[in-house]
Structure 1
Amino acid sequence: MRMTRDDKLARKGMRMWRLKAGLQERSSEIFESTRQLYKKGGEAKSLTTQLIYRKTGSSLG
């Protein structure tokens, strides 16, 4: 069975589409985990800022 140019393109397209779908899933997972980290980091940051603020009596941002 000989493959025509269209068949090749279609298969290539499917493969690309699968890759993209996989990448999208992975990137959304990564995004989710980084968002969690940033949330935690933000909380920690605000806590340290509060501590510094209490100690020095001046806001450092």
Structure 2
Amino acid sequence: MKSNDKTIRSILIPKLSNWLVDNDLAGVRNPAELNKLPIDEKKEWLALWDEVSTLIKRIEEK
């Protein structure tokens, strides 16, 4: 593993993980709030949160 890989991981994981708990994003992340959105927009947000979670896992595995 390259040292710059460790640096990138040490930056990316906390930032992406914060997206999953940040109160400012609750309106587009929490299920009750997502249910207030049009279905197409809700699907896009759900896809984003899935991608963020998947990316965090992939970064952690390397």
Q: TM-score, normalization: structure 2?
A: 0.38
Structure 1 or 2: larger helix share? 1
